[in-house]
Structure 1
Amino acid sequence: MRKKNKSIPVNIMVDNFGGDISIEKIAVSDLISSDKTDLNGFEEAEQSHRHDRHSFFLLESGTVHIEIDFEKYKIKPSSVIYIHPDQVHHTVVSENAIVSSWAINNENLNPEYLKLLEDITPAKPLVLEDETFSIFSEAVSLFIKFSERKNDKLYHSLLKDSCNALVALVISQYLEQSKSTDKLSRFEIITKAFREILERHYTTAKRPAEYAQKLNISTPYLNECVKNTTGYSVSHHIQQRVILEAKRLLHYSDQSVKEIATELGYDDYPYFSRLFTKVTGMTALAFRNKNHD
């Protein structure tokens, strides 16, 4: 029977490094046939969760099927993936996988890297070139050796710097596949700023005018920028972000639809219900029942 949760489960990652940083390499056989215990980030398939920190996984061999925010991915060897603490995920199946992983919380993450990670969220699996993959693998192996030197005077600093170095390697790979900031058009720069603000305020700000005001531009101009860059209006993006969180809570928690509406900033419960149906094509309860089958 599925566990009852009033909110989305958060997996408090346990390690031997003080509870805030981890670097490790693990071998995972077929996940579905496991004893359903925690496998250092590759938990049993039925329990979806968030992590309490930024998590990175480098697949060295085997295959992993993972679902992140209702998107399914098949990850092949020589791939790396980043999972933000807000993202809900679970591993569907792991076939003879060898995975290097590292995780770090906000307090220990380089502030510059934190901002860059927000810009690339959500991140899809990234296939690395052979030379780059070799650098990643060698770096992880070296940093794991560092993590075993617990009696070193600067042990925590060494671990923190090692993990941040790996994070920087990941970010650099994602940035290579995207436009550099100095090449962005004015429309793209404003759209990027809008998305950053949306992530912080989607539960409290529901009108395009509120975001335009925060950006000190007119509402028509904000709409022009966003639609030109993405093909969709500001209202569309606001609704999509709200509905994503609603889907997470409907699927992974046992809050009522009314409770979820309130949490997402809608005092008008019927309006929220109509919005959910309009965006997804089904009622909130139908979505919950479908995904619990």
Structure 2
Amino acid sequence: MSLELKTNEKKIIMLFEVIGHYQFPNDILQDYHTHMFCHRGSAAFLFNGKQFTCRGGEFVFWFAESQLSNLTFSKNYKATALLIQKDFLNDNIPNQNWSIDAMLHSKEHPVLQLNDTKEKVLSTFQLLYYKFGDKGHRFYTEALKLQMQMFLLDMWHMFATEYESRKRSLQSGTLYEQFLLLVQAHCMKEREVQYYANQLSISAKYLNYVCKQNSGVSASEWIQRYTKERIVLLLQNKNLNIAEIAEKLEFSSRSFFTRYVKKVLGVTPSAYKNRLG
């Protein structure tokens, strides 16, 4: 049977079964990152404005504070769910460049087909939950943080594998699909439309036309959107200072980076970090 979550408990990590017409409390979905492996049945939902379905043998990941709605489960639905409090997860992200790509990829593609990795995923869930409950450990805090980082590296490995597979399949896709893939891969360093036009062997004007026809959004706007998402994730990383972030994004100076952030976020990098506390 499913575990009834009491919102006033505010546990850092929760592991439980979801069966049938379970209802996730809204504050749980806002405060926790949700990882769920579907054993049978299906779950349908709207995620950031797109419709998705997760079926038996698939894995779904929802960020805390995501635009998640219309969540419904089939009568025979059964899943194992692992919920991690958002601040605890964010505070223990390994300092790896791939974390940004993994996070952004999972926002676009929250449902993954696991194939032969089912047992590994469930084992990873159990290891993290066990370490959370092992409060008698002499080095409990340090051990739990390390286990949290190991969990994230395992999740990123899974997303990286799926990302590379999708990347190979899109290489023969439309110009628009190839452009978006290139932006995801290179916008940390390349923020000019001409760079992507050169990669696709077309003119910048034609690339803008292709983007407008497919999405109503210009190529430069797409580049800015993806860059903005990466900047936000980097600013949320407490292990990085502003100079280090500017260097990662290869801005020529900290002042240029500050102006760019003010343009896309409406506030300076320092003001954004101060809001986070």
Q: TM-score when scaled to structure 2? A: 0.54
* Counterpart check, 1:109 vs 2:101: no
Residues of 1 paired with 2:158 and 2:220: CA distance? 26
Residue equivalent to 1:132: 117
Q: Percent identity?
A: 11
Distance 1:146 1:62, change over 3 A: farther
What pairs up with 1:155-234 in 2 under 5 angstroms?
Answer: 155-179=140-164, 191-192=183-184, 212=192, 221=204, 224=207, 227=210
Q: Are the counterparts in 1 of residues 192 and 220 from structure 2 also a CA contact under 8 Å? A: no
User: 1:104-134 CA distances to partner (integer Å, 9 max, x unpaired)?
Assistant: 53221223253232341322311211x3101
Q: Report how far residue 179 of structure 1 moved.
A: 3.2
Q: Are the counterparts in 2 of residues 13 and 52 from structure 1 also a CA contact under 8 Å? A: no
User: 1:23-75 CA distances to partner (integer Å, 9 max, x unpaired)?
Assistant: x331233336x6xxxxxxx33xxx59963454322223443222212322221
Unaligned runs of 5+ in 2: 1-6, 172-177, 226-263, 267-277
1:144 to 112, 115, 129: 129
Residue equivalent to 2:61: 82
Residues of 1 paired with 2:188 and 2:28: CA distance? 23
Distance 1:101 1:175, change over 3 A: same
Distance 1:111 1:122, change over 3 A: farther
* Counterpart check, 1:16 vs 2:11: yes
Q: TM-score when scaled to structure 1? A: 0.51
Q: Look up the SS of the partner of 1:111 in the other structure.
A: coil
Aligned amino acid, residue 56 of structure 1: H
Aligned amino acid, residue 165 of structure 1: M
Distance 1:76 1:194, change over 3 A: same
Residue equivalent to 2:218: 235
Distance 1:57 1:140, change over 3 A: same
**Count of residue pairs the alignment pairs up:** 204
2:72 to 93, 96, 100: 93
CA-based RMSD of the aligned residues comes to: 4.8
Which has the larger share of helix? 2
Residues of 1 paired with 2:69 and 2:188: CA distance? 25
Q: Look up the SS of the partner of 1:16 in the other structure.
A: coil
Aligned amino acid, residue 94 of structure 2: N
Q: Are the counterparts in 2 of residues 147 and 159 from structure 1 also a CA contact under 8 Å? A: yes
Q: Are the counterparts in 2 of residues 81 and 125 from structure 1 also a CA contact under 8 Å? A: yes
Unaligned runs of 5+ in 1: 1-11, 35-41, 198-210, 243-263, 267-293
Residue equivalent to 1:31: 21
2:52 to 73, 76, 99: 73
Q: Look up the SS of the partner of 1:172 in the other structure.
A: helix
Q: Are the counterparts in 1 of residues 208 and 219 from structure 2 also a CA contact under 8 Å? A: no
